[in-house]
Chains A and B, each alone.
Chain A
Amino acid sequence: MTLRSLVATLALLVFAAAPAHAAGAGSACHLPEAGHEGKVDIITPHITNGDHIEIPYWKFPFFLECTLPKWAPLHVGSLELDLSPTKHVVMLWLGAVLLLGGMVLVGRAHARAMARGAAPRGGPNAIEAMILYIRNEVILPNVGHHGEGFVPYLLTAFFFILTLNLLGLVPFGSTATGNISVTATLALLTFLTVEVAGLRANGVGYLNTMFYWNNELPVVMRPLMFLIMSPVEMIGKLTKPFALAIRLFANMTAGHIVVLALMGLIFEFAGPASAAPLLMSVVIMVLELFVAFLQAFIFTLLSSVFIGQIREAHH
């Protein structure tokens, strides 16, 4: 199978399978209810999670509303877990599938080009340039000696966040990284990676990153400083991933609110004056495209810096 046909199959799966599935599902998808009179909130439904997704449709208004299935909640002890898919969960799945398929294709193209003794061309070459930049300029200098083991996790985080950010900018898409639960989970993964890396690099010395015990102090001061400084050190451990989660969530949400508010202004002005918000929303949208890359980069950079910090904590 050639690369071209593989790409075509993938594209067909993504873009054609959704409406085909919708037709098969029947009652789950329907045309949106027409004719809202008066003011309609266009911002909140776009930036929050929900149990509906929109899929492309060939007739006006060019999208169908699909209700996602509702699963019976799981009971773990007294805890009730509702694991039904939501709009952002669908985006997470779509992002994961796109990334997995895309990266397998890039890897194959790279291997084939290497077998020919040439550099890959086009898309695979661009992805390779990004991977090498992140690996050599961001991850390895910050993580420190023998940092190669952290490259797979950090690169996966980078491309996953980037894919999710970009999926929020395409029509019918939704930004899963604009959901605090998603960013908190990503930050939790970084937190666990950092702590395990610290434990492996420092051994017993890992306790020094959690507790404060200074033998240079007078004997009376040691337990006092221990009691005061240890909670602060632990808080410092927790605030780093907290800041990571908040930064990604706030940046993705804020940009979308600005774009949607400007789009609202286009209709509010309703005349030649609406050219101004139209122009501004285009400019902000381009900025959003940059922010999608920047925030994925920042997350990866800070994760590698935190891993490097804790690995060299014993120095």
Chain B
Amino acid sequence: MSNPPPPTPDADSASFGAAAKYAGLGFQLVASILLFLYLGRWVDRRIGTEPLFLLLGVFTGLAAAIYSMYRSLMADQRREAERRGEGTR
């Protein structure tokens, strides 16, 4: 079999991939909030402080999920910048 030509950077397919990878991010937000919500409810029932830790859990989960999203966005942006730097060299 002969060697196919090396891949050429294609702006369209790269941006499509970049957009498509965030399609599943909503699930992560919901799952994080639910995890900390149930954790808070469990703590509340153990020590009888309803609904303090449940509410704290909702906001902790939301903040953590948003921070995680922010981190993955920043990492992707750095990767993209590196790739562009390699391309112009």
Contact = CB atoms under 8 A, between A and B. Distances in A.
Interface of A is mostly: helix
A309 B9 CA distance: 17
Interface of A: 110-111, 114, 132, 135-138, 140-142, 228-229, 231-233, 235-236, 238-240, 242-244, 247, 298, 301-302, 304-306, 309, 312-313, 315
B8 A136 contact: yes
B53 to A, nearest CB: 13
A242 B67 CA distance: 21
B21 A306 contact: yes
A235 B23 contact: no
Interface residues of B, number: 33
A154 B33 CA distance: 33
B24 A244 contact: yes
The 7 residue pairs across chains A and B that have the minimum distance between CB atoms: A243-B24, A239-B27, A140-B7, A136-B7, A232-B64, A239-B28, A305-B21
A187 to B, nearest CB: 11
B17 to A, nearest CB: 5
10 contacts: A111-B1, A137-B7, A140-B7, A141-B9, A232-B67, A235-B32, A242-B27, A305-B17, A312-B79, A315-B82
B7 A141 contact: yes
B36 to A, nearest CB: 8
Contact of B10 (A110, A137, A229, A244): A137
A235 B78 contact: no
Given A141-B7, A243-B27, A244-B24, A235 B17 contact: no
B35 interface: yes
Contact of A240 (B2, B24, B68): B24
Contacts of A135: 4, 7
B75 A247 contact: no
Given A239-B28, A243-B24, A305-B17, 18 more contacts: A132-B4, A138-B13, A142-B14, A142-B17, A228-B60, A228-B64, A229-B67, A232-B28, A232-B64, A232-B68, A236-B68, A239-B24, A243-B27, A301-B17, A301-B20, A315-B75, A315-B79, A315-B82
